[in-house]
Structure 1
């Protein structure tokens, strides 16, 4: 459960693309140790919000405060990742010709400190660093129960396992905050159950806070500590799953019906 200390504050963020307003004065708090779900109809601004958080988009208004530090507006995704924010994507973004192990090792790049020469010669500091990074990746592989596919090129894996590998690459980066964009899209029931279990265990095993976008409301209500609802770029609800489920504005947004 959340420790109620703010890890990330999104304060009054507005984002537009020409005349299209993707986010309008959106403010949310992400508390350390929680699983926060962001839901809403298609086009509500959910992925745009994740793109703002990980530096892909720069909002026209508002600010972000991560771990008590106001983030510079011009920070690029690479620097955001180095601060401790990792991301998975709605569409799998893996190196299809590389093995599962090698894909996970790319998640360690941000932590590599040895020079290019020592890496090329594979000696001294580079060798010690490689061993340390490999040990962490093996821990992630064991956690996600993908030992059997560690040497398999990910392009040959079924979609559900590719999603698990992408989660592993994000975990390999050792983030403080993990952004999951529809982590269960395209999965069958069994694969969804496995992914739910992994997301719930990430908090205890790796001390990582999770923010996820997910369209499966059963999943959202089962694994989330708190739910934020967006509609047409505005935040219309923020509370526990039970509170959000009973909120008339949320019902209107999803069902398009009026309530008296």
Structure 2
């Protein structure tokens, strides 16, 4: 079924024979990029019903129960009102959170150190945030930290990355990291720099995912970190 324009008048116009009615359906197939859909209405599969609430459309997925506004008997006079959720359930909380507050951020200001060349936690773990990855499978991850070192060697360096757990699992990676390494020319010099970067992730699985920053030292020195920031923005 196709519609030549975005005009919903033919759908919403009152049909004298049947009048305005409410029905329910179950999403059987859903394309999060185009909103193409298949809905099971009383055992009948209907393709590509129009959607009234496009803001909530990003949350729809196969298996969701949806309300349908029917202004006639034929499927061409139906449209999806939105997903049905039960108040007080995790599904309702997840839907409200994803729509009203999708961005998560956390900050740790305390200066803490590590001498490990392997990525790991500092004394205060994190920052750490949990977000709901949408059906697009995409998000932006922003990390930032003040990094420095004090060493008797002329060389020194620091590195920071992040991991993910939950619906998605990611390990630290040089391609998803911020780094500082330098030759000061003065063995006793203490150096501090602010670094930050934004990373685009795609191909993720929809669902709750926890992101956590991790840290390491380079070139055999003790690395210091402070004013650590983590921001995750589902797309």
Does TM-score exceed 0.5, indicating one fold? no
Q: Which has the higher strand share?
A: 2
Q: By percentage of residues, which structure has more helix?
A: 1
How does the TM-score come out when normalised to structure 1? 0.20
| Structure number, greater radius of gyration | 2
TM-score after normalising by structure 2: 0.21
> RCO (CA 8 Å, sep 6+): is it higher in 1 or 2?
1
